[in-house]
Chain A
Amino acid sequence: MTRGTLIYIVQRLGIIVLTLLVVSFLVFVVVHSLPGNAFISQRVHGKSLQLLLHEYGLDQPILIQYWNFLKGAIHGDLGVSLYIRGEEVTPLVLRELSVSCELGGAALIVTIGLGMTFGVLAAMRQNSWVDYLLTSFAVIGYTVPSFVIAALGIMVFANFLGSVTNGTFAYAAVWTGTYGTIGELWLPALSIGLYTSGQITRITRASMLEVINQDYIRTARAKGLKERVVTIRHALRNALVPVISILGTTVVGILVGVLVIENVFGIPGLGKEFVDSILQHDYNVTVGVFTIFALLIGLSNLGVDLLYTLVDPRIRY
C-alpha cells in the first residue's frame, strides 16, 4: 500500500461523501415535494393533521428540515419513520440492508461464478457448439428481464414441480422469516444473477480471445507448461482487467435486480422498502434507502478500482 494509493483512497472517499450529500439533498427535496403525505391512511384532517405535521417537523421550511436531517445523519440517526410510529429509520434500514446484502451477495456469486466459467469455456472452444450454446445463453441472460426469469422459475419449480410431485419438491415462493434459507434464496439469486452473468460471460470471452493470441501465451507454451496452467495462470490472469472494469456496472446491475426481485418475491429487503416507502409517502425512509444505495455503490466502485492494482501490477495510483 503505497502513499499514492492512500491519497487516492482518501480522495475517493471525499468524492463519495460529496455524492452522498448531493444525492441525499436532491432526493430529500424531491421526495418532500411529492403530492400527498404519510398520514392519509390514518385519516386525520385539519387540526389533528397540523399537530402531526408539527410533531414530525414537516411544517418547517425544506432547508431547515434538511439541516436537521443532516445533523442526525452524521451521528447515524436517519430520523424516524412517518408511517410506522416509533420506528427508527436507521435500524430498520440496516436490518433490511443485511437482507439485501445476503441476496445481492448470492447473486454476485452466481454472476461471477457462472459468468467467468462460461466465458473461459466459450473462449477456449471458440466457434464450437459449446461456444454457441454458452454465448446464446449469455445473450438470453442479459436481455430477458429478470422478473421474466423469476416468473419462469416459479412456473417450473413451484407450480409444475409442485403439481407433479404433489408439493414435496415445490419451490416456496414466499419467504418465511427475515433471512432466507438456501432453499428459498436460490431462485431470486439466480434471477438476478443470470442477467448480470450474461454480460460477464461476454466480456470474459472477448477478453480471453484477445489474450490467447498474445505472444506471452506462446512463450508459456514454448516453456512446456501444461495447457491448463497456460489457460488459468497466464491467460485468465491477464484477461481479468476488462472484466474488472465492468464489475462496477455489474454491481449496479445487481442492485437494480435486487430492487425488482425483492418486490417480486416479497423479500423484506431494501428494494421492497424503497418501493413501499414511496407508496406510503414515508419520506424519511425513502431518503435513507437512497443514501444507503449511493454509499454502497460508491464503496463498491472504490473497491473495484483498488482491485485493479491487485490484478495488474502496471496500474498504480
Chain B
Amino acid sequence: MAATITPLLEYSGGTLAREQVGLWRDGLRRLRRNRLALAAMVYLILLAIVCIVSLFWTPYKPNVVNTCPTYSLPGTPGHPLGCDELGRDTLSRLMVGSQISLAIGLITAAIVMVVGVGVGLLIGYLRGVVDAIFALVINVFYGVPPIMVALVLYVLLGPGVINIIIAIAATTWMDMARLVRGQTLSIREREYVEAARAGGARTRTILLTHIFPNALGPIIVQTTYVVPAAILTAAFFSFLGFGVPAPQADWGGMAQEGFSPLLSGFDPYMLLFPAIALSVTLLAFNFLGDGLRDAFDPRQRR
C-alpha cells in the first residue's frame, strides 16, 4: 500500500512524504533490526534443538546414578558440567530439564492464549452481565498473588507436570482475557465491524474474521511474555519443594537440589548451571517479547 505525494509542477526541493507499508511488513522489518530480539530468537532456536535432541539422546542417561563420583566438579573427563549428589551427570539432566521447563512454559502459554482469547472476545463483544461478572471475578483474584492460588491448586490436584500446567494456567488466563477484552471493546466500535453487523454477519464470524486478527499483535506479545512467567512460576514451585516429582526435575528442581550444598559451603556448580540456563532462557523470552512489542507499536514511525 504505497501512498506518495505527487510533486508539484516545478518543485525542486526534496520530497516531504514517506511511503507507507503494511503493518505486518513494517513490524517484521523493525523486528529484524532489533539485535537483542534476534539474538534471543537464535538462542531459543538453539535451545529448541537441544531439547529435541535430548528426547533421543543424552551423553548419559539422566537418572542413572553413580556414573561419576558424587559432587564432581565440572571438567571431570566425560562430564563437562560435573555431577550431582547422586552421581548423575549434570549436563544430561540439564538437557532433559529443558524439556520439562519448556513444555511447561509453552503449553501453559498455549492454554492461556486459547482460553484467554476465547473468553476475552466473548466478554468484550457481548458485554453486559457477563462483563460485570468477569470484572467482579478479576477484582477478587487481584487480591491474592496468583502464585499462592496456583500453589494451593497444585497441591489439590496432586503431583505431576500436567497438574503444574493446569494450576499455573488457571491463574494466568485472566490477564490475557482482560487484555483481549480491552482490545475487543475498542475494535468493535470500528466502522468495518459495524458494516459487518449491518450486513447480517453472525457473531462468531465477526469475532473470528474481524476482531481477532486486529487484536493479534498485542495477543502475540502477551503470549510471548506468558512463557517465561510460567517457567518462572514452575521454578518457584520446584524451589519451594512442590515441583515436578523426582527423579525427574526441571531446572528449578535441579537448582533446589543444588541449594543445600551451597548453603553448607560446598561448590555452587550444581545450582549454578540450572540457574544460568533458567536466567538466560527467561531473558531470551523477555527480549523477544520486548522486540515484538516494539515492532507492533503503531506509535513508532521508523
Contacts and interface: CB of A to CB of B under 8 A. Distances in A.
Given A27-B152, A140-B283, A154-B262, A147 B239 contact: yes
- Which has the most chain B C-beta neighbours within 10 Å: A31, A143, A154, A274? A143
Interface stretch (A54-62, A227-235, A256-264): A256-264
B278 A148 contact: yes
A159 interface: yes
A33 B152 CA distance: 11
Contacts of B255: 147-148, 151
Interface in A291-311: 293-294, 297-298, 301
B130 interface: no
A151 B271 CA distance: 8
B143 interface: yes
Contacts of B104: none
A293 B271 contact: no
A217 interface: no
Nearest to A22: B140
A34 B152 CA distance: 9
A294 to B, nearest CB: 4
A152 B235 CA distance: 16
B145 A293 contact: yes
B268 A256 contact: no
A173 B158 CA distance: 32
Given A31-B152, A151-B262, A145 B145 contact: no
Given A140-B283, A144-B279, A256 B147 contact: yes
B90 interface: no
A278 interface: yes
A139 B239 contact: no
Contacts of A151: 255, 259, 262, 268, 271, 275
Contacts of A51: none
B139 interface: yes
Contact of A275 (B139, B153, B240): B240
Nearest to A147: B239
Contacts of A27: 152
Interface residues of B, number: 36
Interface residues of A, number: 47
B140 A23 contact: yes
B265 interface: yes
B262 A145 contact: no
B156 interface: yes
Nearest to A289: B148
B148 A290 contact: yes
B16 interface: no
A260 B145 contact: no
A148 B254 CA distance: 12
Contacts of B139: 15, 19
B27 interface: no
Nearest to B238: A147
A293 B240 contact: no
A154 B147 CA distance: 25
Contacts of B151: 275, 278
Interface in A149-206: 151-152, 154-155, 158-159, 162-163, 173
Nearest to A295: B143
A19 B278 contact: no
A259 B268 contact: no
B239 A264 contact: yes
Given A259-B148, A278-B151, A278-B152, A145 B279 contact: yes
A279 B147 CA distance: 16
B152 A30 contact: yes
Interface in B148-178: 148, 151-153, 155-156, 158
B24 to A, nearest CB: 26
A293 B265 contact: no
Interface in B234-287: 235-236, 239-242, 255, 259, 262-263, 265, 268, 271-272, 275, 278-279, 282-283, 286
A30 B152 CA distance: 8
Contacts of B143: 16, 19-20, 23, 294, 297-298
A74 to B, nearest CB: 19
Interface string B124-142: 0000000000000001101
A87 B146 CA distance: 28
Contacts of B279: 140, 143-145, 148
A252 interface: yes
Contacts of A278: 151-152, 155
A112 interface: no
B232 interface: yes
B3 interface: no
- Which has the most chain A C-beta neighbours within 10 Å: B143, B236, B239? B143
A122 interface: no
A255 B144 CA distance: 10
Contact of B263 (A31, A140, A173, A290): A173
Given A18-B140, A151-B262, A158-B265, 17 more contacts: A20-B143, A31-B152, A35-B158, A139-B283, A143-B283, A145-B278, A145-B279, A147-B236, A148-B275, A155-B262, A163-B265, A173-B263, A260-B239, A260-B240, A263-B240, A263-B241, A278-B151
Q: Give the 5 A-B CB pairs with smallest separation, nearest first.
A: A19-B143, A148-B275, A294-B143, A144-B279, A155-B268
29 contacts: A16-B143, A19-B139, A23-B143, A27-B152, A30-B153, A35-B158, A140-B279, A144-B279, A145-B232, A145-B236, A147-B255, A148-B278, A151-B259, A154-B263, A155-B268, A155-B272, A159-B265, A159-B268, A162-B265, A173-B263, A255-B145, A263-B239, A275-B240, A290-B144, A293-B148, A294-B143, A297-B143, A298-B143, A301-B142
